Structure 1
Amino acid sequence: MQDRALPSIFSRSRKLAGAIRSRSLRESAGETGYLFEHMSDELVERLSFVRHNPATALLLGHPAPHLIEYLRAQRAAVTSGSGIDEEAPYSVGPFDLIASVGSLDTVNDLPGALIHMHRALAPGGMAIATLVGAPSLLNLRRAMLAADGERPAARMHPLVDVRAAAELIQRAGWHSPVVDSHTLRVSYPSLDRLVVDLRLHGMASRLASTAPPVTRQGLERAQQAFLEAADSDGKVIETFEILTLSGWRR
């Protein structure tokens, strides 16, 4: 039997380069990134609600400091997931808790990543992940379409929605799976300001395919299209749909 061919939607090298650059930008700005802060808040709230007090925890993606502090206050031994390939079996574990913050939306093999996450849990352990899902960044998507005119290029990657995420964690064997979402709305004065924030979060294009550069005229069309969604204060409300996935290992 031949191995299942994996999709090649994302470039690992571009994802790594973007992560390194975003970390440098956040350190220079002295901040964690509001999306990662928000996602970490969500995980702390969920963990407090289920009253799961893990002895060992693995944190993947971009956890904010207060998530780490919360777990250590629960006397958990916290392991950083830095360097772990989420699409391959983990070389560490098992853990009572595995939490992923903002990284699963750009893996080529999301079903495999969820399976590896589940298998690295100890019996009775909990997995929880939060990520940007569909629909998100609708104004940016419209702006990019306006930039390219009649020949749109692949500039933004597809995102998983609630229904697809629920099916995936069930297939991955997560026990008592729960998937829900909420919308985070952020106001921007310009397209340029949004792009700066996306780079701060490592959310520039990580697609394996390379789109042609946006022309000066295309950029002007994109900026204009973005501002067409502005409110009476001249701000554009951009949306991020935040998905939260959780489940257990029996």
Structure 2
Amino acid sequence: MNTPAIFDHRAIMLHRDRAAGRQGLISPILDAATAILSDRLDDVARPFTAALDIGGRGLVSQMLAERHIPTLSMDISPRQAALCAPHTLCASPEALPFAPASFDLVVACLSLHWVNDLPGTFMQIRQSLRPDGLFLACMPILPTLRPLRSALERAELALSDGVSPRVSPLPTQQGCVQLLQRAGFALPVVDSERLDLRYRSTTALLADLRAAGETSALVQRPRRFTSRMLFAAAAAELESNSEDSRITDCNKNNTDGFSMPLHMAVLSGWAPAPTQPQPLQPGQFQHDLRDVLSGSKATEQIPD
């Protein structure tokens, strides 16, 4: 069965190409996401000898190089791939061009949420890992950009009595857990991180989205010219609904603009291997839970 095309790969490539020269404008966000993955990697007490960096914009490959991990970087955008020299290739994460068991580490930093077939991509990543290899990733999740989506929808309804898809759909944290499980990763872990971002205007928010290559690449996005009235009405809607965030920040002497936090899921999973801890099968337990809960089991005394 063919996967429905939600995202336009050519548009994604063009947006990331254009963003390659402007990503310095959002470097604090990219640096923070890379640092989160770096911290998770530092918690793993084992060496890695062959890593794949998917869409790391040059930051992930640098982080891995500092740890002396040989790395191959890939990106759907030729200009983004060029930022990851010396070992790079241009390819889509939906069709990984690697033999099974090619890597013992795969890292994806804010680069998989434009994939049409996420279950298929996760399966390909698992297959490209050697037994006991690690997959480490961060992805934007809901409710990221939900206020922007709502403001655009209300503004468009008021102006044209209809709604067009303008903001990319994002997964939930629970959805990320299910993706790891469905792909067959062992010991899956998904937790969340939040980057608190504030913008003085909707124009500034849209500028950051362009600098990140995150403007709409939906197949069903409007192809006609968008009236400035729509963005003006959406901006008024978004900024007028930011009173709660202004009140929250009053004690910080920051009452300008509005809050637009980036919610991220941080995912880790391992390619299955016989050496990994395995859950007990039914009937293999050694203690009766009723005894433990009732306290009837004798407590072993530790000699002085």
On whether the aligned pair clears a TM of 0.5, the verdict is yes
The amino acid of 1:223's aligned partner reads A
Q: Is 1:21–2:21 an aligned residue pair?
A: no
> Could you tell me which of 221, 230, 240 is aligned with 1:218?
230
1:1-250, aligned counterparts within 5 Å? Answer: 4-26=1-23, 30=24, 33-65=27-59, 67-82=60-75, 83-91=90-98, 94-149=102-157, 150-211=161-222, 212-228=224-240, 229-230=242-243, 231=246, 233-249=255-271, 250=273
Structure 1 residues 72 and 216: alpha-carbon distance in aligned structure 2, compared to 1, 3 A threshold: closer
Structure 1 residues 51 and 97: alpha-carbon distance in aligned structure 2, compared to 1, 3 A threshold: same
What is the deviation of 1:91?
Answer: 2.6
Alignment partners' CA distance in 2, 1:172 and 1:139:
32
The SS at the match of 1:24 is coil
What is the deviation of 1:105?
Answer: 0.5
Q: For structure 2, which runs of at least 5 residues remain unmatched after alignment?
A: 76-89, 248-254, 274-304
What is the deviation of 1:63?
Answer: 4.4
How many residues end up aligned between the 2 structures?
Answer: 243
Q: Relative contact order, CA 8 A, sep 6+: which one is greater?
A: 1
Runs of 4+ in 1 over 4 A off after TM superposition: none
What is the deviation of 1:96?
Answer: 1.2
The amino acid of 1:199's aligned partner reads R
Larger radius of gyration: 2
The amino acid of 2:17's aligned partner reads I
Greater alpha carbon shift after TM alignment, 206-215 vs 109-118: 206-215
Render the CA deviation track for 1:210-231: whole Å, top value 9, x for unaligned. 3254323222211111211152
Greater alpha carbon shift after TM alignment, 213-222 vs 177-186: 213-222
Structure 1 residues 143 and 213: alpha-carbon distance in aligned structure 2, compared to 1, 3 A threshold: farther
% same residue = 27
Whether the 8 Å contact between 1:147 and 1:221 is mirrored in structure 2 is yes
Render the CA deviation track for 1:107-133: whole Å, top value 9, x for unaligned. 000001101111111122101111111
The amino acid of 2:34's aligned partner reads S
Structure 1 residues 25 and 74: alpha-carbon distance in aligned structure 2, compared to 1, 3 A threshold: closer
The SS at the match of 1:106 is coil
Higher strand share: 1
Normalising to structure 1: TM-score of the pair? 0.91
Greater alpha carbon shift after TM alignment, 196-205 vs 136-145: 136-145
The SS at the match of 1:247 is strand
